[in-house]
Structure 1
Amino acid sequence: MSQGVKENPFPFRGLTAQEVSGSRAVHGQNTIEDNHSGFFWYNLKEIVREPMFLLLLATSIIYFILREFSEGFFLLGAIVLISAISFYQNARSKKALSALKEYTQSLSTVIRDKQLQKIKSEEIVVDDVVVANEGELITADGVLLQQNDFLVNESILTGESLSIAKTIEDPDKNLVYKGTAVVSGQGVYRVTQIGKATKLGRINTSLSEIEKIRSPLQQQISRFVKQMAIGGFLIFLVIWGISFYNSRDVFDSLLKGLTIAMSVLPEEIPVAFATFMALGAYRLMKLGIIVKHTQTIETLGSATVICTDKTGTITQNKMELFKVYDHKTGRTAEKDHWKESEFQNIIRIAMWASEIVPFDPMERSIHKAYKTFSTEDERPKFSMVHEYPLGGKPPMMTHIFENAEGKRIIAVKGAPEAVINHSGLSNAEKEKIMTEISRMASKGFRVLGVGEAFFDGKDFPEKQEEFKFEFLGLVGFYDPPKENINETLQHLYNAGIRIKLITGDNPATTHTIARLVNLQGSNDAVTGEELMNLNQEEFDRKVSQASVFSRIFPEIKVKIVNSLKRQHEIVGMTGDGVNDAPALKAAHIGIAMGRRGSDLAKESSSLILSDDDFGKMVDGVAMGRKIYYNLKKAIQYIISIHIPIILTVALPVILGWVYPVIFSPVHVIFLELIMGPTCSIIYENEPLEKNSMLKPPRAMDQTFLRWKELSVSVFQGLMITAVCLGIYQYSVLHMYSEDLTRTMVFSTLIVANIFLTLVNRSFYFSIWTTFKYKNSLIWVIISVSFVILLFMVYNPGLGSFFKLEPMATNQLLIVLVAGFASVIWFEIYKAIIRRRKPLKLFSSEILETGKGIIR
């Protein structure tokens, strides 16, 4: 569907609606298809390859061989149920990621029915006429029809970072390719190939392929699960060997071995990880933060430094033309008071030095000011004959226009120092102008120099610096800080994240804005020119110390990012322009702006702020930490509850106790069906704890699978094991039957699991505090688990199937007290932690951080 229709200034009519439909019918959509033949079959293949599936299938076959059909059919039902749960969780993740991709769908400008239209890039068809502007991506393969200083970066295809000048005349340089980026100028091309038929499609370097790279956390989880699988296989061999030695029954021994193997496998962990990441990305999208790669969510919680630009991020990006300085008279005029011709001429020349269709806020402001006094718009009478794009150190840009009579305008604007240095001014004149620049900058104005030149002939200089410019004056823009920026920065500081302000503006203006927003270390400033003269050691030291960077060139931004990375910082970088793309790509977290950001900046980033609100970074960091800490809770819960299952199954067999088969595969599978929803649904839905944004960032190589974290989980598991085995011995001592002993041990483990779920909602705050957390799902799942347990115990049919026996009231009370006692001791441990490390809130408003993340 068309997103907007505009008047067409190009000499091309484009396709009609009927021609578009015909082309789409032949060539299809402009998408690079997923490699998977279908969601259902792909997931079915993945499920069948899971070790737990194979164990269940093998166990059910053995039951059928032993003619124990009810158990065999139960396990087949469990396979179906577990597969259905897996399908549901994968479908939730797929739906979240599909919504994410839909939200990030890029738009393209096409000419159809003689009008300019904005459409989704996937709707482009063969023979469409597409207009590509600076900062945008080429969305299909095509051949150039028209171009103006059209430079394209094709590194995604060739690996070469140098831009290529495209021309219509040269058959080797008139082709454009999907996925490449427009560095400067404008081009109009006719589409020749779309989707998988494009060069990019044929070599299959789509975004979905990039997302398959495993993150450090994924690798840690995979390694842990593999180690547990190997351990499970070894324990299986031990249990099978002991059982076979004692009974000489192959199938019975296999059942015991398979039971222990099922209890060891922590297959819930990879599922929980995938669910947490996909739903986290979806939640961020709802907050206006578009995460292009789910592994970015991990990195968000570890960010130690955020490098941000000034305009539009720290400030409002209004860039209103507020002051004009005339060099000849030394006079200044403020907004709406430039009636004198000298001020109007400076604005007029600044307008000619701007883009014809302005995108930059300053250029839009210049065009707007020009319209306030021009009685006749002279622009339609002139055509651009040559353009020198923004460049140099410091940068400036020059445009050359000419009308039919041969009248020529050569206009330049840019950093005042650049225009001054190429204007042939005396030292006294330069000093006078620099004084005015300092005066304007100290009040927070962003200042540009304006000049003009005169040149006869058509053989224009190769570089704009070769012109002899006449310096006309200065234009000053005021862009006030955003209203919430001070609070945003304070929240990030509280979270242990340093902020570095990096801008191309002059030092005085940058320092003024930094002071207004209370940027920490605003007096520690450095310029791009100063950094250029330092060796690597001095460069790194200066980058680490400084908080304000002014007159920074694009290539210096990349060096700053790499310097911070060398110093083991986790770096976030904001940007919106074409020149920001390398720094965005180099940063751990490239943060592009959704509204004002170029397509190239968005493509190079890993995260997009859809409404350009830097305050959303607080939400992003909070969500990253929430997901990490909740995943940590889920995994520690899984480890804690697996230990008593493993030991309760293994020890009676190994030690030759009176009832060696206390749990069979059906009991283990029932426990698995409880644990799966608990870790993937309950903990994923937990809110952000109020101390999470007051902790320093975690190291990227830090894992919750370290012994410090594992020891807590292992101890919790051993305590539950001790209580369960104590109940076992209590039952034997009182000469209870095997079924009643199994019932009491099984019920104790379920009750312990319920209380463990509640206790592990926080590893710092008490259970009474966590009762206030908004998470209705926890009570639903716990209630269902408890009701099913009672039904299994007291329903004769189910009790017979699971080999359970109804408990008397005093026995049920013992089970409840024992299950509660096996985990409640952890509250004492947490109380000791709180006493040693009391929580200090920096602000009463810190609990509101996250706007919806903390519920």
Structure 2
Amino acid sequence: MKFHSFSVAEAFTRLGSTQAGLPEEKAVALIESAGFNEITETEKEPAWKKLLGQFANLLILILIIASIISALMGDIIEAISIVVIVLLAGILGFIQEYQAQKAIESLKKMAAHKALVVRNGIEHLIEARLLVPGDVVVLKTGDTIPADARLIEAANLTLEEAALTGESQGVMKNAEMTFPENCSVGDRLNMVYAGTSISNGRGKALICATGSHTEFGKIADMLQKEPEKKTPLQQNLDALGSRIGVFALVIAVLMSAAGILKGYELVKMFIWGVALAVAVIPEALPAVVTISLALGVRRMVKRRALVRKLPAVETLGAVNIICSDKTGTLTEDQMTVRKLYIDGAIVSVTGAGYEPAGELKVNGEALDTGNAVFAQLVHIGSLCNDSHLVKKDKWLITGDPTEGALVVLAAKAGLNSDELRGRITRIAEDPFSSEKKRMTTYHSINNETFAYSKGAGEVMLGCSTQIMTAQGVIALTDETRMNLQQTIRQFAEDSLRVIGFAYKKIDSFLKAQPEEEMIFVGFVGMIDPPRPEVFAAIRRCENAGIRPVMITGDHKITAIAIAREIGILKDGAAYSGEEIESMSDDDLNRAVTSANVFARISPAHKYSIVEALMAQGNIVAMTGDGVNDAPTLKKANIGIAMGITGTDVSKEASDMILTDDNFASIVSAVEEGRTIFENIRKYLVYLLSGNMGTVLGIIIAMAAGLPLPLTAVQILFINFVMDGLVAIALGVEAPEPGIMDKKPRTVKEGILNTAALSEILLVGIWIGLLTMAVYAYALHTGAGDLKAGTLFFTALVFARLVNGFACRSLHQSLFLMHPFSNRALIASILITLIMVIGMINLPALQTIFGLTYLVNSDWLLVTIMPLTLLAFTEAVKWIKRKIAK
């Protein structure tokens, strides 16, 4: 039922209750039908089942089989390495699923534990889980609301609802009002909601929804129903694992069969075929992916982004839409005075946030801060004020943000508000209320009493009969009043919140009516300004082919103004939650295609918008800080929670947390995600082109009737070294220039695109031909099978090392890159060279690996031939760059 649309009397009637509350026996009976006031969880999957489920992955199963095969062949090191990789991948997946469950637990923790309920006309303190619809609860400052309820009494009752609605300002409640049925949650001023808290005042409320039927309960239900999503990388690797597994099996069977037909021993060819299959499978792929993601996480921490789920790092690289909240992410979340009006002049105010630095100018000239009218305005703004400006690591405001903006304005003019309050005594006050829309304080100055008042611009103008000017106080004429009203409207059209100031001298505080016939001084226009770095971040998004979308609980006019200022809204429509509510699915799909601003949005609207965007094939990142955002954070491809203002629920449901709540940090994280994906692609190009070259060289040898050039042990050594040291080193390559000047890859684009596949094919053929040329030359010049095999092995190792260096970039010339910027790669190449030289020159290792000594001319041959690969890869990159142009 839409209780916000019912009067108090009708709400009581609907729930069969009265001001005296429910009879105890009826409340107990209702628990049977309504259930306990608590969030219910779906049946949990046992932890052991979750852990085993991590290994139900084709690539993982192939790796397990490979480890068994390696162990049976006696290669215990290889087997252990694979097992460690498999366990690491499984444990990481298990941790991710476990974290999702914690989001539900965080919701439960936010629920109130006790409630003061009225039953049979008597107040009782009971467990909040025992509340039922129809109960009357007593509310006071500091309480957490125990269930959704219709207010029946409210005295200066203000609630913090940011966790539910995203509204950063406290919300003043009113029990007497009613609202339309389709009114958004944030605008239902006669309702209070479970999990929100009372910052001021007191009241009574009639419980109308409990447990899973509350707004919080609906969010929990959405969280539990939302399935875990697979990242684009996981989908790519699953498909790649399937193809490589089939390819490895086919190659192993065919090559083994060919060897048997050539007269090789059956057992020997079986072992060799299995070794070849193991060599083709990228055992190091999960390790490279994990290490690349983990190092990316470390780099992102320095950029103020904390990743909770490793695959999220890569998914960021595919993001083409970032849905962001406004307050605190795109803006400072610090109200700032931008303009003020005094004595017929509009004064511009520079600076942003709570930093007390900025200039006040009139028509480009500095304002004389000794101006009597301006001095009176900042005095009123400082004295009729309960906020304080404090300096810690940075400038902060304690108290209301709107009042804080006035304290900062005074500081920019050289006035210390705290010192002023210390000199001028406040003797009484009339606090702000939603009915009066103003606040008045009373001060004793030189044995005289003054009333200083501030409030909504129109309200302060309405209660004034005179106006202060540089020439003195004069009557407020109808013409002047009209001009002031027009200026106030202009401020409002610029999305500035207008606060007016007035004062009067009173003879007796007890007898006077001080909030009438006041002297109007002026007004200020303030706004929560955009973060300075957001402008550049939006431009980076445009260059990178990423569409930023603002989804906010704030009012539409404010959202549009900020969106236009920072560059999110240039053309296209902006929609409110009310408009979204009335749309069909088709209308919503059309709306999200072009609109970049959605204002006054409810949790359900956010979810629908993100769902519609994803249904169109977009990879969507979504920011959020409240409980209301949790289902959408989980639904989006990347859920990004706020580290400063975010609730525990939003953080647990997210993939990534911004430690500075800054939109620009998201864009930096996208760059990191793109880099990681590119590095994994480089590794695969390097690995598969090398594997292809190895297999091609062997195929040519067998087709030519030559002896097998490699032994099983040599194949496994190349596989272990190439897939290990060099490949992991490629995973830490730094971002390439221009990586944020490209459009995001599409969902359909695999990790091995056409360009990557062509490079694998061309480089693989070159490696196969050049190693075979070395092998054929050795046999032709009279070298025995052992020496020819040693030359083939060494040339193949060197060629793949050169290929590893060339794969630092799949586009850029190697000669334009700093040769030593990837020190991990240099180290891995040196270690590999030392190992190969030792294997060839140490008798014990010669026996194990089936190698022999090489003379100087042999070393020259196996060094020069692979260097031709460098020239070849440079030529391939040059052609790719020309085609791209």
With structure 2 as the length reference, what TM-score do the two structures score?
A: 0.62
Deviation at 1:511, TM superposition (A): 5.0
Corresponding residue number in structure 1 for 2:79: 79
- Letter of the 1:257 counterpart: G
Other structure's SS at 2:570 match = coil
Alignment partner of 1:829 is 2:876: yes
Q: How far apart in 2 are the matches of 1:520 and 1:170?
A: 43
Name the aligned partner's letter for residue 273 of structure 1: V
1:287 correspondence with 2:334: no
- Name the structure 1 match of 2:47: 35
Query: Which of 533, 545, 556 is residue 496 of structure 1 equivalent to?
Result: 545
Does structure 1 conserve the Cα–Cα contact (< 8 Å) formed by 2:212 and 2:218?
no
Match of 1:20 in 2: none
Alignment of 1:10-25 (within 5 A): none
* Rounded Cα–Cα distance in structure 2 between residues aligned with 1:47 and 1:571: 27
Instruction: Give the Cα separation in 2 of the matches to 1:682 and 1:505.
Output: 47
SS in 2 for 1:705: coil
Contact 1:152/1:180, CA 8 A, preserved across alignment: yes
Shift of 1:635: 1.1
User: Do the aligned residues in 2 keep the contact of 1:276 with 1:627 (CA within 8 Å)?
Assistant: yes
Aligned 1:411-810 pairs, distance under 5 A: 435=486, 437-443=488-494, 445-446=496-497, 476-503=525-552, 505=554, 509-510=558-559, 512-517=561-566, 519=567, 521-522=569-570, 524=572, 526-528=574-576, 531-532=579-580, 540-541=589-590, 543-549=592-598, 556-581=605-630, 583-653=632-702, 655=703, 657-659=705-707, 661-678=708-725, 680-772=727-819, 774-810=821-857
* 3-state SS in 2 of match to 1:608: strand
1:226 is aligned to 2:242: yes
1:561 and 1:544 map into 2 onto residues whose CA distance is 11
1:369-395 deviation digits (Å, cap 9, x = unpaired): 999699367799x9x9xx99xxxxxxx
Partner in structure 1 of residue 389 of structure 2:
none
The sequence identity of aligned pairs, in percent, is 25
Letter in 2 for 1:79: A
Structure 2: how far apart are the matches of 1:60 and 1:572? 44
In the alignment, is the contact (CA less than 8 A) between 1:792 and 1:804 conserved in 2?
Answer: yes
Q: 1:59 to 1:681 in 2, by over 3 A?
A: closer
Q: Do the aligned partners of residues 603 and 38 (structure 1) sit closer, same or farther apart at CA in structure 2, a change above 3 Å counting?
A: closer
State which drifts further: 569-578 or 698-707: 569-578
Q: Separation in 1 of the partners of 2:102 and 2:731?
A: 27
The residue that corresponds to 1:337 in the other structure is: 377
5+ unaligned residues in a row in structure 1: which ranges? 1-31, 62-71, 109-120, 132-139, 156-160, 185-198, 327-332, 349-356, 389-395, 399-412, 421-427, 451-471, 839-855
Question: How much does 1:633 deviate?
Answer: 0.5
Q: Distance in 1 between matches of 2:56 and 2:327?
A: 50
CA distance in 1, matches of 2:759, 2:536: 37
**Distance apart, 1:625 and its partner CA:** 0.4
SS in 2 for 1:685: coil
Cα distance in 2 for residues equivalent to 1:435 and 1:529: 29
TM-fit CA distance, 1:755: 0.3
| Counterpart residue type for residue 438 of structure 1 | R
The answer on 1:272 being equivalent to 2:321 is no
CA distance, structure 1, for counterparts of residue 245 and residue 265 of structure 2 = 25
Cα distance, 1:834–1:658 mapped onto 2, change above 3 Å: closer
Partner of 1:312 in structure 2?
328
Give the partner amino acid of 1:824.
A
Q: Partners in 2 of 1:525 and 1:812 — Cα distance?
A: 69
**Is the aligned partner of 1:151 residue 2:147?**
yes
| Aligned counterparts of 1:800 and 1:95: Cα–Cα separation in 2 | 44
Compared with structure 1, are the counterparts of its residues 477 and 667 closer, same or farther at alpha carbon in structure 2 (3 Å cutoff)? Answer: same
**Residue aligning to 1:192:** none
What is the CA–CA distance in structure 2 between the aligned matches of 1:266 and 1:58, rounded to whole Å? 15
CA distance in 1, matches of 2:631, 2:674: 27
Please say if residues 726 and 829 of structure 2, whose CA atoms lie closer than 8 Å, have aligned partners that are also in contact: no
The one-letter amino acid paired with 2:79 is I
Deviations 1:589-648 (A, max 9, x none): 333321122334434443321111222122111011011111111111111111122233
Does the aligned pair in 2 maintain the 1:589–1:606 contact within 8 Å? yes
C-alpha displacement at 1:722, in angstroms?
1.1
Name the SS for the 1:777 alignment partner: helix
Query: Structure 1's 86 and 566: CA in aligned 2 closer, same or farther, altered over 3 A?
Result: closer
Q: AA paired with 2:691?
A: H
**Equivalent-residue separation in structure 2 for 1:55 and 1:107 (angstroms):** 39
Give secondary structure in 2 for the equivalent of 1:756: helix
Rg larger in 1 or in 2? Answer: 2
The unaligned stretches of length 5 or more in structure 2 are 1-43, 117-126, 132-136, 150-162, 165-183, 186-190, 196-203, 343-372, 387-396, 411-416, 439-454, 463-478, 502-519
Residues 22-70 of structure 1, C-alpha deviations (whole Å, 9 max, x = no match): xxxxxxxxxx99935999x999999998545645654665xxxxxxxxx
Residue 867 of structure 2, aligned match among 820, 832, 843: 820
Deviates more, 1:50-59 or 1:567-576: 50-59
Q: Distance in 2 between matches of 1:280 and 1:547?
A: 30
SS at structure 1 position matched to 2:426: coil
TM-score computed with the length of structure 1 as normaliser: 0.64
The one-letter amino acid of 1:635's match is L
| Structure 2 counterpart SS, 1:375 | strand
Question: How far apart are 1:449 and its partner, in Å?
Answer: 11
Evaluate the alpha carbon distance shift between residue 489 and residue 42 of structure 1 in structure 2; reply closer, same or farther with a 3 A threshold.
closer
Between the aligned partners of 1:698 and 1:311, the Cα distance in structure 2 is 30
Shift of 1:753: 0.8
Counterpart Cα distance in 2 of 1:505 and 1:755: 57
User: Once the 2 structures are TM-superposed, how far is the Cα of residue 313 of structure 1 from its aligned partner?
Assistant: 2.4
Distance 2:399 2:699 in 1: 70
Q: For 1:246-395, what aligned pairs fall within 5 Å after superposition?
A: 246-247=262-263, 249-320=265-336, 337=377, 361-362=401-402, 375=426
Cα root mean square deviation, aligned: 5.7
Once the two structures are TM-superposed, the CA of residue 758 in structure 1 deviates from its matched residue by 0.6
Amino acid aligned to 1:834: R
Deviations 1:780-816, CA, capped at 9 Å, x for gaps: 1000101111111122221122121111211211111
Cα drift, residue 171 of structure 1 = 13
Call closer, same or farther: CA 1:414–1:286 in 2, change over 3 Å. farther
- Is the Cα contact below 8 Å between 1:522 and 1:548 reproduced in 2? no
**C-alpha deviation, 1:485, in angstroms:** 2.3
Give the 3-state SS of the residue equivalent to 2:639 in structure 1.
strand
- How far the C-alpha of 1:254 sits from its partner, in A, is 1.7
Deviation at 1:481, TM superposition (A): 2.8
- What does the per-residue CA deviation read over 1:264-288, in whole Å, with 9 as the maximum and x for residues that have no partner? 2222323323333344334323432
> What is the rounded CA distance, in whole Å, between the counterparts of 2:627 and 2:868 in structure 1?
61
Distance 2:302 2:207 in 1: 46
Question: CA, structure 1 residues 443+773, in 2 after alignment: closer, same or farther (shift >3 Å)?
Answer: farther
AA paired with 1:591?
I
Secondary structure at 2:797 match in 1? helix
Tell me if 1:236 matches 2:252.
yes
Q: CA deviation at 1:503?
A: 4.3
Q: Are the structure 2 counterparts of residues 554 and 210 from structure 1 closer, same or farther at C-alpha, using a change threshold of 3 Å?
A: closer
